[in-house]
Chain A
Amino acid sequence: MPIDIAARVLANRPLSSDYNVLALAAPAIAAIATPGQFVMVKANAGADPLLRRPFSIFEILRDARGDVTGITILSKRIGVSTSLIYDAREGQRIDCLGPLGRPFTIVEPPTHACMVAGGVGLAPFATLAQALRARRVTSTLFYGARSAAELFYLDFFRDLGVELLLTTEDGSLGERGRIVAPLDRRLAGMPASTGVMIYACGPEGMMAATAKTAMKYGRPCEVSVERVMGCGLGGCYSCVVPMRGADGVVHNVRSCIAGPVLPGDQIQWD
């Protein structure tokens, strides 16, 4: 059952002129959240902007004793609501409803995990990487962004023992180009007997390319989709994704309750 908390802002850390990490005192949400779930956030009182915005739960915060204290969200400033998130001040209250949605399937060894992130799509992978490590699953983060300045938290993943493969569109760090290229090479080089699970989150084109690459090699792939979302609870039918059902017919599926994590091979990519 989701919980609505008027969460105090514990810290607001800008990562760049667009990206920030907002820490929210929401222990009740943190205590029950699982990797891939999201929260619906509203940073202003009143009706303008009116609706909440969905954010993946980025990190689970703990105090010195190891007790959960809250969550963080990773935000990229795009419009009015994300500007309010970017400019939020410590001590301010922000409405935070969650945890919501269907999480990632966490694999077991010896299956290897490939996490594929584009830009702000890094968000669900911090908690996923921790959960995979707790199960001793080896993992690789394929992480692409426009430039080196937009690749964040690399040490966080290195410290968890995650292999990093980076790409930038301008070549300023890692390989120049899109993140699907190194993923494709890695999958091509893997014997069929090696189990692999692919997790993806990022721009629509990147997720479509990742899902198609996974299908090419016959590998399972879960994508965390981002849609314009009105409520996060299945009430408004805004956030639908066309998916091929068991009947072979394409149906519009609500990504807030059927997802946000969905099987990549069932989505009808444009």
Chain B
Amino acid sequence: MDLSVHIGALTLKNPLIAASGCFGYGVEYADVVDLSTLGAIVSKGLFLKAREGHAAPRIVETPAGMLNAIGLQGIGAQRFIDEKMPELRARGATVIVNVCGTTIDEYVEVSRMLADTEGIVAIELNISCPNIKEGGIQFGCSLNGTFDVVSAVRKVTRLPVIPKLTPNVTDIASFARSAEEAGADAISLVNTFLAMVIDVETRKPKISNGMGGLSGPAIRPIAVRMVHECRQAVKIPILGMGGITNARDALEFIIAGANAVQIGTANFVDPFIWPKLLDGIRDYGQRHNIARVSDLVGTVARSHD
């Protein structure tokens, strides 16, 4: 099966992408995974400056999922370029950077810095982190904000621009349309669902930030529905994610309308998951006689046919 995926002018060798915030800066996994075998990796969110993030505890497990509020701890764009990109280039990784900002100017500046760096192939715009007050989600929860960030970054780079959408809105398809109208080359969805876990003995939230983002298999059916809705609304490629743990889950997203998929939480449980996913997708292609994985995108059949 031809596994290649096209996002604007960009071709990925396969549809498997390591999700932002779930794969460090990629270099952490270089001993475990041959980074060059992944479709792409998405860096941890990058601001202009370094950030320390929230205090621990930062995660708590939930039924078939986990809640996190890391607070976008990170080294900032320049140190990523200087300290991480050389190894990622040497390892043959296809690097998408996840760009954060507290203002549109910051998104633009960080995007410009990273777009000029050899080895970076696309920019994912983080307008959807639920865990920090001053960045991202205020843009991602407003149609105009989404449009403004995407169109501002669009003007300063030729790289594919991929806003990552939040599911914490009433109608995610309208945000997909806003992104497309602003010139996005693709969209990523979904980021985590804002959620909360309380220790009833102490009556305190179980993570220091109080609330956090829910990920893992628990959210998968909602994420699949949202990918399906966005597929109906826009023509641009979709990078789908939310609780994928095996090839069947990945195929579900692709059939719902995703051109590629991102793996996050499952990589924590099994860092050796990547070849297993690829094998499973290839096996499916053989069993169903599918020549190209792209032939499966958005092919959900009507129920009861």
Contact = CB atoms under 8 A, between A and B. Distances in A.
B270 interface: yes
Contacts of A248: none
Interface in A49-72: 49-52
A1, A2, A237 — most chain B CB neighbours (10 Å): A237
A51 to B, nearest CB: 6
A18 to B, nearest CB: 18
B71 to A, nearest CB: 9
B173 to A, nearest CB: 28
A97 B271 contact: yes
A253 B265 CA distance: 21
Interface in A233-270: 233-242, 250-252, 257
Interface stretch (A26-34, A124-132, A135-143, A224-232): A224-232
B269 A51 contact: yes
Contact of A48 (B22, B32, B64, B73): B64
B130 to A, nearest CB: 16
A47 interface: yes
A87 interface: no
B188 to A, nearest CB: 18
Interface string A90-118: 00000101000000000000000000000
A40 to B, nearest CB: 9
B56 A227 contact: yes
Contacts of A238: 56-59, 68, 70
Contacts of B201: none
A50 B268 CA distance: 9
A235 B218 CA distance: 21
A50 B73 contact: no
Interface in B42-74: 44, 52-53, 55-61, 63-66, 68, 70, 73
B32 to A, nearest CB: 7
A235 B272 CA distance: 13
A64 B216 CA distance: 44
A55 B169 CA distance: 40
A42 interface: yes
A4 interface: yes
B265 A50 contact: yes
B193 interface: no
Contacts of A234: 24, 28
B198 to A, nearest CB: 16
Interface residues of B, number: 36
Contacts, number: 95
Contacts of B270: 4, 95
B82 interface: no
B37 interface: no
Given A52-B269, A235-B24, 15 more contacts: A42-B269, A50-B265, A50-B269, A51-B61, A51-B66, A230-B66, A230-B268, A234-B24, A238-B68, A240-B58, A240-B73, A250-B52, A252-B52, A252-B53, A257-B28
A250 B53 CA distance: 12
Nearest to B216: A50
A230 B245 contact: no
Contact of A235 (B29, B57, B58, B216): B29
Nearest to A80: B61
Contacts of B56: 227-228, 238-241, 252
B53 A50 contact: no
B217 interface: yes
A2 B30 CA distance: 11
B23 interface: yes
15 contacts: A4-B270, A48-B63, A50-B217, A52-B269, A97-B271, A228-B59, A235-B271, A237-B21, A237-B70, A238-B59, A240-B53, A240-B73, A241-B56, A251-B52, A252-B52
B269 A252 contact: no
B134 interface: no
B305 interface: no
B271 A233 contact: yes
A4 B268 CA distance: 13
A227 B70 CA distance: 14
B76 to A, nearest CB: 13
Contacts of B23: 235
